[in-house]
Structure 1
């Protein structure tokens, strides 16, 4: 027999107390006492709850639930429902998506100074994508960052919240509040001031991470239902904007498209925020809903993806935006392709912020390239990396230099292990070129500028499938899509290797820490970088 059947005061339908003898008098007495307890200060109730439950002949958990339900609702529940869950009517007329996206982008740039115009493009496409959440397998977060306060993060959050689907702006929330809000309202969550309340909250980070992929976007919590504790699934599938100074955990950043803001100069004019931006943006929200409904099937059927960038997560994050841009038509495919390319290029070149193990792989591969050897002794490697300027190896830990143990610990996860090798006339512990090169290519090389794309696109009257050649934009941004010649300096670039950087980008892309890269994103092992096609 269950606990509910054993309990003479178990909750029945609607949270009412079911008495075995059907006594209305006893039921009214219990409910009357519950109403009195609900009026108590929470601390006073906590002191009395166990004694009251015994006196009423019911379990403490049942009494807690009845008192909780008898109390007036607070916080977000006090807001009018339309402020939490907006019920939009789609725009009555057909919407030209490219024009709407342009209007969204202009509104974004009117109020804040983006570090890159590519960020404004990504944000505009992302806002449109919040109206298509039933289409996506993966949906990235937007992470708004700046180096200091006063760069417009909160302003940007307010603008996004006014144009996104069911925007809900929060400056603080518990982990439980986040997944319950998602389950109840399916909003676009805009989480501001993240650096003050999210950084040291691993439970919340786990919840936010789970919502990146629709299949995995759920958490399980144990809830009391009709007197029994049962597992309950809560959805975490919803668009999210996370804003704060600096960064967040690596796992969260990798699931996000980073939007960087900068403090505007006195000569950089931005518009003041209107009194009620949310109300002013109602037309745009209705138009976005109409465009999304008209194009959802077409976008869902599209299988276009960004080209390989050396980072599968970045490619996943940009895939939904890629398909939106293709459905909008020109100039959005060109804009997004240029932004994706710039981000991939910058990520591979960001040596200063790379993890220590990745930095070590790059330095080790540089030594192989510089010396032209196929094996290097570990003691020799330690001496060389300690002498490198702008590197931490000379004062690795507490002012002491990196040791053989340091190398072993950092390189082991990448499959690079020291072994006995012949080096300069002796047998020593050292590293093989092939082993280091494999790890470098997989984890530490700069992204390769591949044939940057035939991006499916359509205008408002065409089906998807017409191809847009990005050769022109690659030329503009410094990349050649022509087949490269063999690197005459060292022979490391095969005839079928990916295309290499063009003249305009060579200085940016073909170096890591000031050292030249070869044609496939590896450190050059000799020769003049200007010999590349």
Structure 2
């Protein structure tokens, strides 16, 4: 985590050469050093600015006009399920260069002028509980721990020389870092969005770091992704449904058509859940399995093997995690099996006589 914090600070000076830059989520119990790490970020990060209880306008205007690295401390309120939804949307969009803009009409020289505010710039959020849900999927967590040793509080003047050196590095080596970023491939370390989030960190490790740091980061990121996938309920539900779907047998006479009710029952039985058919249906829609029909009052959905594999790739689920889809025997095969069974039964009867 120390290497990750260091890389993240360095990366704020090059964030605009990346397509995305992860939010840093600092969490931990009280008096564990969260605010001190925020102070260090304020002292060293590119155009760092500290905020407490920011408004929506203060975020998008600071990001557009000053290209700041926003350091938000005491952010426990962000996880409130019914409040601060707009604030969370802005934070969620700030990690990617292509998340869009906030549009506002400002009065300039007596005229109403349309302005677009770019949200993309580094962001650090600190709080006891950390981030949750969608926002967490755009961030990485740094868990602080209490120690007996007292560390000095960082101030901007303490690191003037180091910060100035980072500004010089930005001017001299931005194109080189961008080239390394384009060449870096970490698909064998992490997958899906985690590749997007951690690619800048590994690119900077190529530039600043050592092979040992690369290996330490690779191990940390693998474990982080595994833990996240276990904790993130929405991803876990999708995985459960795809794995259970792979074990289902299609409806007789309806190739690649499955019963929604049977799938819900199988998921609940195998994973000890209580998902309704409606919930399972919504998750299937989210995955891209949208074709439905009604047969004798039952809802069936269409999911050929190639679509199931595509859905698995979409959520970063390795194909080996899915069992081979169950298929029904053809009428000819069924007839042959029946003939063999009858022949064996006759042979047994003759042997007994």
- The normalised TM-score by structure 2 is 0.72
Does residue 339 in structure 1 map to residue 220 in structure 2?
yes
Which residue does the alignment assign to 1:522? 321
Unmatched 5+ residue regions in structure 2?
Answer: 250-255, 326-353
Does residue 361 in structure 1 map to residue 244 in structure 2?
no
Unmatched 5+ residue regions in structure 1?
Answer: 1-118, 397-401, 422-426, 448-519, 527-533
The RMSD of aligned alpha carbons is 3.6
Residues 378 and 429 in structure 1, CA contact (< 8 A), matched pair in contact too: yes
Deviations 1:239-276 (A, max 9, x none): 211122435464433332x1231543xxx4443334x5
C-alpha separation in 2, matches of 1:314 and 1:300: 19
Residues 34 and 144 in structure 2, CA contact (< 8 A), matched pair in contact too: no
| Candidates 81, 90, 96, aligned match of 1:213 | 96
Does residue 328 in structure 1 map to residue 201 in structure 2?
no
Residues 441 and 522 in structure 1, CA contact (< 8 A), matched pair in contact too: no
Which residue does the alignment assign to 1:204? 87
Residues 408 and 418 in structure 1, CA contact (< 8 A), matched pair in contact too: no
Does residue 194 in structure 1 map to residue 75 in structure 2?
yes
- Would you say how many aligned residue pairs link Structure 1 and Structure 2? 312
Residues 27 and 143 in structure 2, CA contact (< 8 A), matched pair in contact too: yes
C-alpha separation in 2, matches of 1:428 and 1:234: 46
For residues 78-97 of structure 1, the aligned pairs below 5 Å read none
Structure number with greater CO (CA < 8 Å, separation at least 6) is 2
Deviation of the 1:326 alpha carbon:
0.8
Deviates more, 1:179-188 or 1:323-332: 179-188
Higher share in helix: 2
Does residue 278 in structure 1 map to residue 156 in structure 2?
yes
Deviation of the 1:375 alpha carbon:
7.8
Cα gap change, 1:248 to 1:122, in 2 (>3 Å): same
Which residue does the alignment assign to 2:117? 234
Deviation of the 1:165 alpha carbon:
2.1
Which residue does the alignment assign to 1:126? 8
C-alpha separation in 2, matches of 1:434 and 1:129: 42
Deviations 1:118-150 (A, max 9, x none): x3222211101112244333322212234x544
Which protein has the larger Cα radius of gyration, Structure 1 or Structure 2? 1
Residues 368 and 525 in structure 1, CA contact (< 8 A), matched pair in contact too: no
Does residue 437 in structure 1 map to residue 308 in structure 2?
yes
C-alpha separation in 2, matches of 1:233 and 1:272: 42
Cα gap change, 1:367 to 1:352, in 2 (>3 Å): farther
C-alpha separation in 2, matches of 1:445 and 1:409: 19
Residues 361 and 440 in structure 1, CA contact (< 8 A), matched pair in contact too: no
Deviations 1:45-68 (A, max 9, x none): xxxxxxxxxxxxxxxxxxxxxxxx
| Candidates 19, 23, 31, aligned match of 1:137 | 19
Residues 361 and 436 in structure 1, CA contact (< 8 A), matched pair in contact too: no
C-alpha separation in 1, matches of 2:16 and 2:285: 42
- The normalised TM-score by structure 1 is 0.50
Cα gap change, 1:160 to 1:133, in 2 (>3 Å): same
Which residue does the alignment assign to 1:413? 286
Deviation of the 1:194 alpha carbon:
2.0
Deviation of the 1:306 alpha carbon:
3.2
Does residue 172 in structure 1 map to residue 53 in structure 2?
yes
Q: What SS class does the counterpart of residue 413 from structure 1 fall into?
A: helix
Which residue does the alignment assign to 2:335? none
Deviation of the 1:155 alpha carbon:
2.5
Cα gap change, 1:334 to 1:291, in 2 (>3 Å): farther
Which residue does the alignment assign to 1:484? none
Deviations 1:451-486 (A, max 9, x none): xxxxxxxxxxxxxxxxxxxxxxxxxxxxxxxxxxxx
C-alpha separation in 1, matches of 2:269 and 2:15: 52
C-alpha separation in 1, matches of 2:21 and 2:10: 12
Deviation of the 1:342 alpha carbon:
2.9
Q: What SS class does the counterpart of residue 131 from structure 1 fall into?
A: coil
Which residue does the alignment assign to 2:42? 161
Residues 366 and 523 in structure 1, CA contact (< 8 A), matched pair in contact too: yes
Residues 93 and 99 in structure 2, CA contact (< 8 A), matched pair in contact too: yes
Residues 345 and 446 in structure 1, CA contact (< 8 A), matched pair in contact too: no
| Candidates 259, 266, 289, aligned match of 2:167 | 289
Deviations 1:406-453 (A, max 9, x none): 4333323324456699xxxxx995776726732552345545xxxxxx
